Amino acid sequence: MSAADKGDTQVVRIGVIGAGNWGKNLVRNFATLPGSKLSYVCDLNEKTRQSMTALYPQATVVDRIDAVLSDPAVDAVVIAVEAPEHYRVAKAALLAGKHTYVEKPLTLRSEEAVELVQLAAQAGRKLMVGHLLEYHPAVNYMKDLIKTGKVGNPLYLYFQRLNLGVVRKAENAWWSLAPHDISVACYLFESEPVSVSATGHAYLQKGIEDVVFANLKFADGRMAQIHVSWLDPHKIRKITLVSSQKMVVLDDMEASEKIRIYDKGAEIRSVDSYSEAITLRTGDILIPKVSTQEPLQLECRHFVDAILTDQPIRSDGADGVRVVRVLEAGSRSLAEGGAPVRLS
């Protein structure tokens, strides 16, 4: 039994596996968060290990995951290795009885994701997926606008996640970039799509799409359009929500004014008993004050707090399974030239 389980400490001892481009941000956060102790950093790359040893002398830096998993003093493991390795490393961590945080996507196959959820339940351990945007203050501001009815009935969303690079070799732009947008669409609509259609093209590497346009349909008629690309002149990170009363744009490239609420809409009203007229409304634009806290820090804190207080995880294993299923359906649709693929 780990120290965090026994309740005799307010510290979760953490091992981070994979300290590459993204993992190093996780290491930084877990090294400084209250309630977290960075015990291990594990990476196959020698240069990365050298730099981790210099930056975090408090941590043991190793090249084998067994060294982390076999130490009973480690309560939780954070996995930021390449996506094809997620399943293998996460399974080993759960079998070793560690609370486990896996970067997105949870796995590359939904059967594997389901197995991880079952393993976590059997072991009584937390399983969290790095759906970062569910912790983003601006996304949560948007969610609040929907929940409190301030924007009316949400109709549709569209996402743009575009840039030149980082070009991945093991996965296409859909699997690399869209997990965030899929997770936010489900999070904001509080439901999951019933069908996915996707078209895209592999321009740079055979069989690895650089650009994908996908459409997610929800049972109640809502939809979410996702455009992801690493072959684009613009760096865009935008979410647009069109609701019956207002329209909201989240621009993550803005330093502070990330949300704009447009008092715009269209209404159909009866002119007489035989005819209707469409009226357009354009009012003020509101730029609310939204917290600028780092989403990754909030996400890491959520993981630590959930372990210490035994609370549910927001982006839990079930959320991870849902996103992987949508990714799979999108892949099938891509292979079938954009035909809609139903999700059961």
Ligand X SMILES: NC(=O)c1ccc[n+]([C@@H]2O[C@H](COP(=O)([O-])OP(=O)(O)OC[C@H]3O[C@@H](n4cnc5c(N)ncnc54)[C@H](O)[C@@H]3O)[C@@H](O)[C@H]2O)c1
Is 322 strand, coil or helix?
A: helix
For ligand X, the binding residue among 2, 29, 48, 160 (CB under 6 A) is 48
**DSSP notation for 290-313:** -----HHHHHHHHHHHHHHHTPPP
Q: How far is the CB of 252 from ligand X (least distance, A)?
A: 11
How far are the Cα atoms of 55, 82, 215, 312, 330 from residue 175, in angstroms, in the given order? 32, 12, 15, 26, 9
Q: Which is nearer to ligand X, 37 or 104 (CB)?
A: 104
| Residue 324 interacting with ligand X (CB under 6 A) | no
Contacts of 59 (CB under 8 A, 6+ apart): 31, 38, 39, 40, 41, 52
Compute the distance between CA of residue 250 and CA of residue 261 in angstroms, rounded to an integer: 9
Backbone angles phi, psi at 324, to 5 degrees: -65, -35
| Residue 52 interacting with ligand X (CB under 6 A) | no
Compute the distance between CA of residue 259 and CA of residue 290 in angstroms, rounded to an integer: 8
Compute the distance between CA of residue 65 and CA of residue 219 in angstroms, rounded to an integer: 43
Q: How far is the CB of 83 from ligand X (least distance, A)?
A: 4
- Which residue, among 320, 327, 303, has the nearest Cα to 36 in the 3D structure? 303
Q: Which stretch binds ligand X (CB under 6 A): 67-75, 79-87, 138-146, 217-225?
A: 79-87
| Residue 132 interacting with ligand X (CB under 6 A) | yes
Contacts of 213 (CB under 8 A, 6+ apart): 198, 199, 200, 225, 226, 227
| Residue 172 interacting with ligand X (CB under 6 A) | no
| Residue 81 interacting with ligand X (CB under 6 A) | yes
| Residue 321 interacting with ligand X (CB under 6 A) | no
Beta strands in 43-181 (DSSP E): 60-62, 76-79, 99-103, 127-130, 154-164
Q: Which is nearer to ligand X, 182 or 242 (CB)?
A: 182
Q: Which stretch binds ligand X (CB under 6 A): 3-11, 19-27, 193-201, 210-218?
A: 19-27
- Give the CB-nearest residue to ligand X: 20
Q: Which is nearer to ligand X, 18 or 317 (CB)?
A: 18
Compute the distance between CA of residue 217 and CA of residue 335 in angstroms, rounded to an integer: 19
Q: Which is nearer to ligand X, 176 or 333 (CB)?
A: 176
Beta bridge partners of 17: 42, 79
Q: Which is nearer to ligand X, 10 or 45 (CB)?
A: 45
For ligand X, the binding residue among 10, 32, 45, 311 (CB under 6 A) is 45
Interface pattern 108-127 for ligand X (x via CB under 6 A): --------------------
For ligand X, the binding residue among 4, 14, 16, 17 (CB under 6 A) is 17
Q: How far is the CB of 67 from ligand X (least distance, A)?
A: 10
Q: Which stretch binds ligand X (CB under 6 A): 39-47, 107-115, 189-197, 309-317?
A: 39-47
Q: How far is the CB of 24 from ligand X (least distance, A)?
A: 8
Total of residues contacting ligand X (CB under 6 A): 23
Beta bridge partners of 129: 102
| Residue 193 interacting with ligand X (CB under 6 A) | no
Residues in touch with ligand X (CB under 6 A): 17-23, 42-45, 48, 65, 80-83, 85, 89, 103-104, 130, 132
